């Protein structure tokens, strides 16, 4: 698989999002581990998770522990994997999502994530979502402290706007390496953030790059965006593979992290890294749904 850079670290151009393996509708553990192993076999070396990827309030970090188990059982095949996790978004167990950007909490959460992942230092730690009750600079300042203390190796942010990206990079002293925002053929409002990351040389990690779990599971991306289906038929590949290849073509800093809960899904997604679209195809896809 072709590689791209996150903070100077090379990773496969297509990553794996772990969320579907730990929230509502999740598969059994055996299938999840098989999915992660299939990702490694396909050349995936970036796996994205978060302490909030769970269902019940009593299983915080479910996805982190699942990924740690899968990587341990993969042996040397997992040596080059970068695990990116996040903190600051919480699930109290009633189906809702809450936020906590308090610096003390984020530091505690990062250390707990490191223990669950079984690492001395987290490869990439990201502030999950801004907390309106806490100044953004204070939350990001916790990441700076975690970097300085060696708890994390690299720092990123998620669900951020352009001003927050610039502020975070300033607070971190130029050490911001990634921005993880929602972006897909049907959700393009993060294009300004993507373009800013390209300008600054910061990795942009689209979450829900296939349009969300429900849409991906339904297989309806092509039906909603005819151009993606047309190109997929012409290339004899899935429209999801076309969507990921299109995102990769937007900028060299883009590293999509499609979620998966089946080995077949992650294998198809990983193949997008080798699908090179023509300028005409990129233009057609860019106009679709815009």
* Helix, coil or strand: residue 247: helix
What does the alpha-carbon distance between residue 213 and residue 261 come to, in Å, rounded to a whole number?
10
Strands (E), the chain: 3-6, 9-12, 16-17, 46-48, 82-87, 89-90, 98-99, 124-127, 155-158, 176-180, 203-204
Cα first-last separation, the chain: 30
Q: How far is CA 8 from each of CA 4, 5, 49, 195, 265, rounded to the nearest angstrom?
A: 9, 5, 20, 19, 28
53 included as an active-site residue: yes
Q: CA 51 from chain center: how many Å?
A: 13
**For residue 182, which phi and psi values (nearest 5 degrees)?**
-70, 135
Residue with the two structure tokens 């990924």: 67
Say what the alpha-carbon torsion angle 102, 200, 241, 260 is, to the nearest 10 degrees: -20
Catalytic one of 53, 105, 125, 136: 53
- Residues acting as catalytic residues: 53
């Amino acid at each position: 698989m072709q590689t791209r850079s996150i903070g100077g670290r090379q990773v496969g151009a297509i990553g794996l999002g772990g969320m579907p393996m730990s929230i509502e509708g999740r598969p059994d553990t055996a299938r999840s581990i098989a999915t992660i192993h299939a990702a490694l076999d396909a050349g995936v070396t970036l796996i994205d998770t978060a302490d909030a990827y769970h269902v019940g309030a009593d299983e915080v970090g479910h996805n982190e522990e699942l990924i740690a188990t899968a990587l341990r059982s993969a042996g040397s095949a997992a040596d080059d994997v970068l695990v990116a996790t996040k903190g600051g978004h919480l699930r109290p167990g009633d189906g809702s999502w809450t936020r906590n950007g308090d610096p003390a909490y984020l530091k505690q959460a990062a250390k707990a994530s490191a223990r669950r992942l079984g690492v001395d230092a987290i490869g990439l730690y990201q502030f999950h979502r801004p907390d309106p009750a806490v100044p953004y600079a204070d939350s990001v300042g916790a990441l700076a402290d975690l970097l300085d203390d060696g708890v994390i190796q690299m720092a990123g942010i998620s669900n951020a706007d352009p001003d927050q990206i610039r502020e975070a990079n300033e607070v971190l002293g130029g050490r911001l390496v990634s921005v993880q925002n929602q972006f897909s053929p049907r959700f393009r409002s993060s294009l300004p953030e993507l373009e800013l990351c390209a300008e600054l040389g910061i990795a942009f990690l689209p979450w829900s790059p296939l349009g969300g779990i429900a849409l991906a599971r339904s297989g309806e991306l092509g039906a909603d965006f005819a151009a993606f289906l047309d190109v997929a038929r012409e290339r004899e590949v899935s429209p999801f593979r076309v969507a990921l290849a299109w995102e990769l073509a937007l900028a060299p800093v883009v590293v999509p992290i499609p979620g998966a809960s089946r080995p077949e899904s992650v294998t198809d997604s990983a193949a997008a890294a080798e699908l090179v679209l023509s300028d005409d195809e990129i233009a057609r896809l860019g106009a679709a749904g815009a």
